């Protein structure tokens, strides 16, 4: 394990403790310890139902603290594969997200802190009002600036820190552990993480006997274990022949049906006898049928 990786771990564990709920702390702690956990495993460790766990992990995913991975698996004794959900921490991504949030908070706080020239650095010893330099610039005497309200000589405030600046330095103090660690992490390289890498080093959880669950294997492995997979089984049933039989029957029935329809159509649309049978005995109707020769 590289230095940057273990530093990233410390950073993530500290940040989650500083800014998040106990449940979120526990979920991340479990993922740090186990590397990769399926939703029902994490739910078991957290003593939560999976629905609540999914909600918790969705908010952690949105905060980039964990990554969600799903893959189809076949549960022991069943034939249909189901999608199973796994959680793991992509340290690179999480460190970047923390870095971004530190930067963003710092920028937001800079906005709150007012520039120096806007601070009220003059105060009146008599009426206790405060003024900026710009406000009292015109109200000047030999002794100094005068109060705009009571005309007493103003005193210059002693290095009075503005609330914005106080907040900023307080934030800098509180964020110091993060900025320091981020700088150290940046000296090295946090190794890339993927689901395959995370699950390869995953520490299995030990369940009590009464909480054991059926084994579940990924679909790509199921075939390799000599078990006939559901998909292959279906292919061997030969639906082709069935389809052909059905199709054959249909074709024949359709043929008969279409012939009947044609006959009925001809019957219904046949010209009336007064047209087909000429009034001239012995003569046909060849000459008077529509489209025929005149």
Shortest spacing between CB 144 and Zn ion, in angstroms: 13
Q: Under the criterion CB under 5 A, does residue 182 sit at the interface with Zn ion?
A: no
CA dihedral 273, 278, 283, 286 (to 10 degrees): -70
Please state, in angstroms and rounded to a whole number, the distance separating the CA atoms of residues 162 and 114.
Answer: 8
- Collapsing DSSP to helix, strand or coil, 130 comes out as strand
Shortest spacing between CB 130 and Zn ion, in angstroms: 10
* Total residues binding Zn ion (CB under 5 A): 7
Using the minimum distance from each CB to Zn ion, give the nearer residue, 124 or 185. Answer: 124
Q: Under the criterion CB under 5 A, does residue 127 sit at the interface with Zn ion?
A: yes
Q: Under the criterion CB under 5 A, does residue 146 sit at the interface with Zn ion?
A: no
Select from 51, 104, 149, 260 the one that contacts Zn ion (CB under 5 A).
149
Q: Under the criterion CB under 5 A, does residue 144 sit at the interface with Zn ion?
A: no
Using the minimum distance from each CB to Zn ion, give the nearer residue, 40 or 121. Answer: 121
Half-sphere exposure of 31 (CA within 13 A, CB side): 30
Q: Under the criterion CB under 5 A, does residue 135 sit at the interface with Zn ion?
A: no
The first and second tokens of residue 98, run together, are: 């923390």
In 90-232, beta strands by DSSP E = 122-123, 130-131, 155-156, 216-218
Point out which span in 50-58, 66-74, 143-151, 168-176 binds Zn ion (CB under 5 A).
143-151
Point out which span in 40-48, 104-112, 141-149, 286-294 binds Zn ion (CB under 5 A).
141-149
Is the Cα torsion angle 145, 147, 148, 151 positive or negative in sign? negative
Point out which span in 37-45, 52-60, 145-153, 198-206 binds Zn ion (CB under 5 A).
145-153
Please state, in angstroms and rounded to a whole number, the distance separating the CA atoms of residues 131 and 124.
Answer: 8
Q: Are 122 and 136 in contact (CB under 8 A)?
A: yes
Using the minimum distance from each CB to Zn ion, give the nearer residue, 72 or 144. Answer: 144
Distance spanning both ends of the chain, measured CA to CA: 101
Build a one-symbol-per-residue string for 106-125: x at contacts with Zn ion by CB under 5 A, - elsewhere.
------------------x-
For residue 86, the cross-strand partners are 38, 69
Positions that interact with Zn ion (CB under 5 A): 124, 126-127, 147, 149-150, 152
């Amino acid at each position: 394990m590289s230095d940057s990786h273990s530093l990233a771990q410390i950073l993530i564990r500290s940040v989650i403790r500083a800014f998040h709920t106990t449940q979120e702390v526990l979920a991340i702690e479990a993922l740090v310890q186990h590397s990769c956990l399926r939703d029902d495993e994490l739910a078991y460790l957290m003593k939560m139902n999976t629905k609540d766990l999914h909600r918790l992990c969705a908010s952690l995913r949105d905060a980039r603290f964990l990554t969600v991975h799903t893959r189809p698996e076949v549960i022991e004794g069943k034939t249909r594969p189901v999608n199973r959900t796994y959680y793991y921490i992509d340290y690179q991504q999480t460190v970047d997200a923390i870095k971004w949030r530190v930067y963003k908070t710092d920028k937001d706080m800079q906005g709150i802190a007012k520039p120096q020239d806007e601070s009220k650095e003059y105060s009146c010893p008599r009426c206790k009002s405060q003024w900026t330099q710009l406000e009292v610039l015109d109200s000047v005497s030999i002794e100094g600036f005068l109060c705009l309200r009571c005309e007493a000589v103003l005193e210059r405030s002693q290095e009075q820190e503005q609330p914005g600046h106080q907040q900023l330095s307080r934030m800098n103090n509180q964020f110091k552990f993060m900025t320091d660690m981020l700088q150290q992490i940046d000296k090295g390289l946090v190794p890339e993480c993927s689901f395959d890498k995370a699950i390869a080093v995953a520490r299995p959880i030990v369940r009590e006997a009464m909480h054991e669950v059926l084994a579940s294997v990924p679909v790509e492995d199921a075939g390799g274990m000599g078990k006939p997979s559901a998909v292959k089984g279906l292919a061997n049933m030969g639906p082709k022949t069935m389809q052909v039989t059905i199709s054959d029957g249909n074709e024949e029935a359709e043929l008969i049906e279409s012939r009947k329809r044609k006959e009925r159509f001809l019957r219904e649309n046949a010209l009336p006898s007064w047209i087909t049978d000429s009034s001239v005995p012995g003569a046909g109707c060849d000459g008077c049928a529509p489209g025929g020769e005149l």
